[in-house]
Structure 1
Amino acid sequence: MIDITFSRQLIIIGLLFLMAFSCIDCNNVANDYKAIKPATASNWQAPDTNSLVSTPGADLIRYGKELIINTAKYLGPKGTVVFISNGMNCGNCHLDGGTRINGNCFAMVAATYPKFRNRSGKSESIQFRINDCLERSLNGKKLDTSSKEMAAMVAYLKWLGKDVPKNIVIKGMGVPIVPLLSRAASVEKGGHVFKLRCSSCHGANGLGLLKPDSSGYIYPPLWGSHSYNVKAGIFRLSSSAGFVKYNMPYNAKPQAPSLTDEEAWDVAAFINTQERTFKTFPDDWPMLSSKPIDYPFGPFSDSFSEQQHKYGPFTSIKNPKNNKVALDK
């Protein structure tokens, strides 16, 4: 009887030790998880181009920056290298050479690519993403991935993000989402906003202002064949509204936007209603349920119309995953 009791005591003590060590292990797992969770940083600054003096491949990086800012000069209709784009520059959407916070900043590209994206349904390389933009936002053709120009742009993007760790999330990499309206965006109201706030730079006809030598644009066209086509990310209303509210006019400060939420949604609706190139990418969005709620082309995994998916109101469209505008451009 004594032996049995003693054995039971040993068993109980053993179980207690197991429980204790199990809890320690669980805590370690939890702590490890917390350690690798994405942190948030809002103080990123673009590396100083003066530091390129001692950087390997400095000339290639400088050329990459030049290609981003003045894409049309090299790749446009009168390009000095090849004719594959419509006359716009990558820098028209990726402001200040892709260094402006809330202006489609490139800071996290090096740390996040290769990256799985819902639009293609696969892991994308930086080269794939650059060509995606050339075909959509610049309404052009793919750039040879073995070309010096592709190597230069990739080198520049990697240099911009050279100090960004993979477990850091920097605020303001895309464009902020403007709070959703309870109504559909109004094309008519947006036309008035465009006339008052946008036409002085982009022209009353929205076709932009060409450089004197016609090699590119001083102010880019907002519609027409020399603007982005319907499958560009900025053709989605949330992207367009966020871009114009927090970045336009060009010297706008995100802390003091010149447009109200309603004006931003309405002018985005007006701009994206105008005629532009219709281009098909049949392999887009292989999983219908991953389409953002403001993606305006069917088929959809819900019963809402293309009209509502384009103009809203978006508050009544339930995204299966998170009930908000998805950010996959």
Structure 2
Amino acid sequence: MGSRIALFSVAAAAAVLLSACTAPTTGPAPLKSPSPEGSTAVTFNPPSIDSVPNDENGKAIKLGYDLMNDTKKLLPNNVGNQLSCSSCHAQAGTVEKELSLVGVASVYPQYRDREAAISTLEDRVNQCLQRSMNGKPIPYDSTEMRAFSMYMSYISKGIPEGTNPPWRGQNVKIDVSNPNLQEGQKLYQQSCAACHGANGEGTPAGPAVWGPNSFNDGAGMANLSKMAAFVKVNMPKAPMGGENPGALTDAQARDVSAWILSHDRPHFPGKSKDFPKGRPQN
């Protein structure tokens, strides 16, 4: 526990340094209360990886960037499928509408309903490794964890602490009741299979979306509402099968997501403990 608290302090100090703040920090990172979306004027302008300082901090930031893109290669014992962080967080979390991580270091620590507890940025890294990548956590005091933290602090530069950036989350609400699996199957084969495989196994152009090499059932993407919102905003990435990027209807996003999630995928052992106080009412 002591090493975790110390690491949180390092992460918080890094975020402050990289945000050009001068106020000193002492002790564990304080709980941040995000302001309502849009209440603070912020712009989406993450710094380039080519602009990192040429020192030890820069080395850590670049390692964090590499870990985002080549997670399986760099953490072979901690990733249990063929996904990387960038499979969901496009271009190492720097694409505005694709689950961007820009500003995330300004939001955490934060209470999360799924765990009914305060989660730190480091907690979230390990939760993604265990769920989205169906793998194992990395030590909180490891070089890799520090690199993840430094990288996310770097791309959050200029975002004030406590600010909830307007691009965070999908900001899309879709009625996912009564999906039509037949229509979902048709749309998948027409506009998704070329990149994700006819059997969801993935190809060099796109990650696996079901089966042993995909995310497990404890991942956020295994929730129909979240997947449908992601698909609605981001898929397909290029014109495919008569569908253009960002042009899917709510019903199409719902149906194809339900079709994908109707298939087998790895089970997360701790899933039964999720939302111990119940899911929040939207």
The one-letter code matched in structure 1 to 2:216 is N
Q: Report the counterpart of residue 246 of structure 1 in structure 2.
A: 233
Determine if contact 1:107/1:160 at 8 Å carries over to the other structure.
yes
The one-letter code matched in structure 1 to 2:194 is S
Q: 1:121 to 1:168 in 2, by over 3 A?
A: same
Determine if contact 1:187/1:266 at 8 Å carries over to the other structure.
yes
Output the CA distance in 1 between the equivalents of 2:146 and 2:35.
32
- SS in structure 2 at match of 1:219: coil
Cα deviations by residue, 1:91-146 (Å, 9 ceiling, x for unpaired): 11111211111211112211111111011111111111111011111011111222
Q: Report the counterpart of residue 223 of structure 2 in structure 1.
A: 236
Cα deviations by residue, 1:154-195 (Å, 9 ceiling, x for unpaired): 1101111121002433222122324326x5111111001101
TM-superposed CA distance for 1:49, in Å, is 2.1
The one-letter code matched in structure 2 to 1:128 is D
Q: Report the counterpart of residue 118 of structure 1 in structure 2.
A: 113
Q: 1:197 to 1:40 in 2, by over 3 A?
A: farther
The one-letter code matched in structure 1 to 2:121 is I
Alignment pair present for 1:221 and 2:208:
yes
Output the CA distance in 1 between the equivalents of 2:238 and 2:78.
31
The one-letter code matched in structure 1 to 2:44 is W
TM-superposed CA distance for 1:249, in Å, is 2.4
The one-letter code matched in structure 2 to 1:265 is R
Moved segments of 4+, more than 6 Å: none
- SS in structure 2 at match of 1:68: helix
Determine if contact 1:68/1:89 at 8 Å carries over to the other structure.
yes
Alignment pair present for 1:259 and 2:253:
no
Q: Report the counterpart of residue 192 of structure 1 in structure 2.
A: 186
Give runs of aligned pairs for residues 1-329 of structure 1, distance below 5 A: 38=36, 39-41=39-41, 43-54=43-54, 57-75=57-75, 79=76, 82-180=77-175, 183-209=177-203, 218-250=205-237, 257-281=246-270, 282-288=272-278, 291-292=279-280, 319=281, 324=282
- SS in structure 1 at match of 2:274: coil
Q: TM-score, normalised by structure 1?
A: 0.68
Q: 1:58 to 1:42 in 2, by over 3 A?
A: same
Q: Gaps (5+ residues) in structure 2?
A: 1-33
Output the CA distance in 2 between the equivalents of 1:196 and 1:84.
30
Output the CA distance in 2 between the equivalents of 1:270 and 1:112.
33
Output the CA distance in 1 between the equivalents of 2:41 and 2:224.
27
Task: State the identity as a percent.
Answer: 32
Cα deviations by residue, 1:190-212 (Å, 9 ceiling, x for unpaired): 001101010011111110025xx
Determine if contact 1:99/1:106 at 8 Å carries over to the other structure.
yes
Q: TM-score, normalised by structure 2?
A: 0.79
Output the CA distance in 2 between the equivalents of 1:94 and 1:233.
13
RMSD of aligned alpha carbons = 2.2
Q: Which has the higher contact order (CA 8 A, sep 6+)?
A: 2
- SS in structure 2 at match of 1:169: coil
The one-letter code matched in structure 1 to 2:178 is A
- Greater displacement, 134-143 / 242-251: 242-251
Determine if contact 1:234/1:240 at 8 Å carries over to the other structure.
yes
Output the CA distance in 2 between the equivalents of 1:40 and 1:250.
30
Output the CA distance in 2 between the equivalents of 1:256 and 1:271.
19
Report how many aligned residue pairs link the two structures.
242
Q: Which has the larger radius of gyration?
A: 1
Q: 1:251 to 1:58 in 2, by over 3 A?
A: farther
Q: Gaps (5+ residues) in structure 1?
A: 1-35, 211-217, 293-318, 325-329
Determine if contact 1:229/1:235 at 8 Å carries over to the other structure.
yes
- Greater displacement, 49-58 / 134-143: 49-58
Q: 1:121 to 1:83 in 2, by over 3 A?
A: closer
Output the CA distance in 2 between the equivalents of 1:42 and 1:103.
18
